[in-house]
Amino acid sequence: MQLPQRVLLKEVGTRDGFQMEKQWIPTKHKIEICNLLSDCGFQEMQFIAFVHPKAVPNMADAEEVLQNIRRNPHTNYSALIPNRKGFERAYANGIRQVEMTMSATDSHNISNLNCTTQQSLKRVEECLALGLDMKLAVGIAVAFGCPFEGRPPFERIKWIVDSLVGMGIREIGLADTSGVGDPRQVYEYACRLREAYPEVHYYFHPHNTHGTAIANVIAILQAGITTIDTSVAGLGGCPYAPGASGNVATEDLVQVLEAMGIDTGIDIDKLIAAANRTEEVVGHSDSATLRAGKLDQIVEGGPHYQCNL
Amino acid sequence: MQLPQRVLLKEVGTRDGFQMEKQWIPTKHKIEICNLLSDCGFQEMQFIAFVHPKAVPNMADAEEVLQNIRRNPHTNYSALIPNRKGFERAYANGIRQVEMTMSATDSHNISNLNCTTQQSLKRVEECLALGLDMKLAVGIAVAFGCPFEGRPPFERIKWIVDSLVGMGIREIGLADTSGVGDPRQVYEYACRLREAYPEVHYYFHPHNTHGTAIANVIAILQAGITTIDTSVAGLGGCPYAPGASGNVATEDLVQVLEAMGIDTGIDIDKLIAAANRTEEVVGHSDSATLRAGKLDQIVEGGPHYQCNL
């Protein structure tokens, strides 16, 4: 089994997680969670989004969060943006690393961003044309399946990647936004894209809607993509399946990767503490770790039971 | 990615699932669920256990269930047994395929069966010595990790398999009873055991306690083990983590395997109907499919939302 020695986890819980929350999360709690996560040792945290507050009310205080968190000098703090306006707002606030999102299908792009995929590509060009000192990653949503159009053909993903690489983008995300990708597909798309552009730094953004996120992560690691977006306490979600799981819980992935001997650089005990506090703040979670505890825990004595093969 | 064309799923929900239920499940409901599952196309169903009713109250009506289910001629109906008494009871009831369970660690074996692993091996010999026309599989519980002893070394598993093969056993199960195995470990143990005894038909019994069951299944398929135990509606559980997940939900695994182009032979719509009915009967479930729906569903129109990369 071909596996990397090290995996880079990008924590997105306070962005992808908090944006899905219906209730207002007080700014001080956002700052507190960011600080707890900063202590865990992430190489990157996508901690806020610069989006219109009417679209995503919980990101309205992005500036205040940004100004008040305690930064870990070993962590890169990045933001999500939907367009040039967000790009400029991020830059004005001292952010030097952003991710812009677009969708593999027009239906999803229109639903999400009110323009076609092609028009979103133009928005990337507009941002680049500003000539600002900003690292721009582009995430391709619904890359493995769209709630409106089903599975996009690989050629569609390839066309987007071709266009992005042509513009000079070297950080490209493959997002399984609805969690409908499967390990074989994820592996194959990843292999083909890496073969086409070995110079691109690809990353994977899994959702656990159908319980397959960890399997998809292991598959894409085998294909050589080793940067993974995860969310503390498994926050996030899918607007089409309200009861479904969100992003893969960071603590679940850290535990299984470390068990496999793959280094994540994360302090699991601090992370579990952060996940517990996150659950308290938002009132829910979707984390096997929070339900079942640590993988390597030993039961002292233990109850008697029978025939639980 | 090396994957099989076909996977054999053994449905164990009415055995491993029902045995964990604290409340009594009326016999007529057990029969109803067995019948719904029989219609789905499983090649094998381990539908009951012959164990002492004090140990597992919900298996007390095994004979009545057995006599009243409607059998699918394409399905093998097997039972779980803990010892010779169960073996004889199964045989007397016309069962010709049983699985006996023992644990990789003495601590777990003692907790579960009140004897050491070595003594359990003797029990297998006792059953074989009866010379009955019965196919006997042996499942090794906690093969990838024990709640009392942690990870058993591979040599311990190998010793058990050596002993079983020496007795003539050719069906051997590797059970991740506490759901603490990881994909690399599962893959490696499977490769080494297959290499040692290619003539053995191995099967895998995953639990989803830590959210890793599907990842572990995909890993073991890559290692060439293609018979997997699953449980309708994700029933089952872990006595040490009451809120944790149970077995992997059959419908979740069927969906992802079929998406990967791997044939399971299961009618997914009938299976989802059976899972829904199971959830009604037992009052709970742990199934991404029941929460999120089918993998390939298409949302018509769909609500507008923003920036859900």
Q: For residue range B70-79, what is the model confidence (pLDDT) as tens digits?
A: 999 999 999 9
Name the B residues in 237-256 with CB < 8 Å from any A CB: 238-241, 243-245, 249, 252, 255-256
Complete DSSP assignment for chain A: ----SB-EEEE-IIIIIGGG-SSPPPHHHHHHHHHHHHTTT-SEEEEEE---TTT-GGGTTHHHHHHHS---TT-EEEEEESSHHHHHHHHHTT--EEEEEEESSHHHHHHHHSS-HHHHHHHHHHHHHT--S-EEEEEEETTT-BTTTBSPPHHHHHHHHHHHHHHT--EEEEE-TTS---HHHHHHHHHHHHHH-TTSEEEEE-B-TTS-HHHHHHHHHHTT--EEEEBGGG----TTSTTS--BPBHHHHHHHHHHTT-B----HHHHHHHHHHHHHHHS----HHHHH--TT---SS--------
- CA A20, CA A58: separation in Å to the nearest integer? 8
B299–chain A nearest CA distance, Å = 5
Of the candidates A51, A101, A307, the beta carbon closest to that of B19 is on A307
Report the pLDDT averaged over residues B251-265.
98
CB contact under 8 A, A292 and B255: no
B15 and chain A in contact, CB less than 8 A? no
Asked if the interface predicted TM-score (ipTM) of this complex is over 0.90, the answer is: yes
Q: What is the pLDDT of residue A302?
A: 54
Residues constituting chain A:
309
| Cross-chain residue pair A288–B177, CB shorter than 8 Å | no
Q: Give yes or no for residue A306 having a pLDDT over 50.
A: no
* Beta carbons of A309 and B180 less than 8 Å apart: no
Phi, psi dihedrals of residue A227, rounded to the nearest 5°: -115, 125
B53 CB neighbour count, 10 Å cutoff: 11
- Judge if pTM exceeds 0.80: yes
Asked whether the predicted pLDDT for residue B305 surpasses 90, the reply is no
User: How many angstroms separate the CA atoms of B143 and B281, rounded?
Assistant: 31
> In terms of pLDDT, which residue wins out, B160 or B246?
B160
Question: Is the confidence at residue A265, as pLDDT, over 60?
Answer: yes
- The least confident of A76-85, B248-257, B295-304 is B295-304
- The whole-number pLDDT of residue B301 equals 59
Cα–Cα distances (Å) from B70 to A56, B77, B232, B277, in that order, read: 54, 11, 18, 17
What's the CA gap between A78 and A49, in Å, rounded? 9
Share of chain A above pLDDT 90, in %: 90
Cβ-based neighbours of A196, under 8 Å, separated by 6 or more: A158, A161, A162
Q: In chain A, pLDDT over 70 holds for what percent of residues?
A: 95
Average pLDDT over residues A199-224: 97
Interchain pair A183, B256: CB under 8 A: yes
DSSP class of residue A174 equals E
What's the average model confidence in pLDDT over A1-23?
95
Hey, how many other C-beta atoms are within 10 angstroms of the C-beta on B24?
11
What b/e readout covers A22-43, taking b as 16+ CB neighbours within 10 angstroms? eeebeeebbbbbbebbbbbbbb
pLDDT tens-digit profile of A155-175?
Answer: 999 999 999 999 999 999 999
**Chain B window 32-51: which residues touch A at a Cβ cutoff of 8 Å?**
49, 51
Give the pLDDT score at B307: 41
Tell me the C-alpha distance between B288 and B232, whole Å: 12
Answer yes or no: is pLDDT of B156 > 60: yes
Q: What CA–CA distances, in Å, run from A48 to A25, A61, A175, B91, B307? A: 13, 9, 18, 64, 12
Question: From CA B189, how far away is CA B185, in angstroms rounded?
Answer: 6
Q: Please state, rounded to an integer, the average pLDDT across all residues of chain B.
A: 94
pLDDT tens digits, B224-252: 999 999 999 999 977 766 777 889 999 99
What pLDDT is recorded for position B306? 44
Supply the pLDDT for residue A11.
Answer: 98
Residue B99 contacts A, CB cutoff 8 Å: yes
Note the pLDDT of residue A305.
46
For residues A56 and B208, give the distance between their C-alpha atoms in angstroms, rounded to a whole number: 34
Indicate the SS3 state at residue B55.
coil
Phi, psi torsion values for B136, nearest 5 degrees:
-115, 115
Higher pLDDT, A302 or B291: B291
Q: How far is A131 from chain B (nearest CA, A)?
A: 24
Per-residue pLDDT of B7-48, as tens digits, reads 999 999 999 999 989 999 999 999 999 999 999 999 999 999
Bridge partners (DSSP) of residue A227 are: A8
Catalytic residue among A34, A127, A146, A238: A238
Q: Do A245 and B308 touch (CB under 8 A)?
A: no
Model pLDDT for residues B170-224, shown as the tens digit of each residue: 999 999 999 999 999 999 999 999 999 999 999 999 999 999 999 999 999 999 9
- Name the pLDDT band for B302 (thresholds 50, 70, 90): low
Q: Is A239 helix (H, G, I), strand (E, B) or coil?
A: coil
The pLDDT confidence band at residue A301, using thresholds 50, 70 and 90, is low
**Does B309 have pLDDT greater than 60?**
no
pLDDT > 70: percent of chain B: 96
Q: What does the pLDDT look like over A81-135, one tens digit per residue? A: 999 999 999 999 999 999 999 999 999 999 889 999 999 999 999 999 999 999 9
Which of A114, A247, A309 best tests the B interface by mutation, with the highest count of B CBs <10 A? A309
**CB pair distance less than 8 Å for B20 and A177:** no
Q: How confident is the model at residue A300 (pLDDT cuts 50, 70, 90)?
A: confident
Backbone angles phi, psi at A14, to 5 degrees: -75, -10
pLDDT score, position B190: 98
Catalytic residue numbers of B read: 238
Find residues 278-307 of chain B whose CB sits inside 8 Å of chain A: 288-289, 291-293, 295-299, 302-307
User: What is the per-residue pLDDT for B298?
Assistant: 87
Q: How much is the mean pLDDT over chain A?
A: 94
Instruction: Check if the beta carbon of residue A135 is closer than 8 Å to that of residue A97.
Output: yes
- For residue B98, pLDDT over 60 is answered with yes
pLDDT at residue B308, as a whole number? 44
Asked if A182 and B260 come within 8 Å (Cβ–Cβ), the reply is: yes
pLDDT at A43 over 50: yes
Chain A residues within an 8 Å CB radius of B111: 302, 304-305
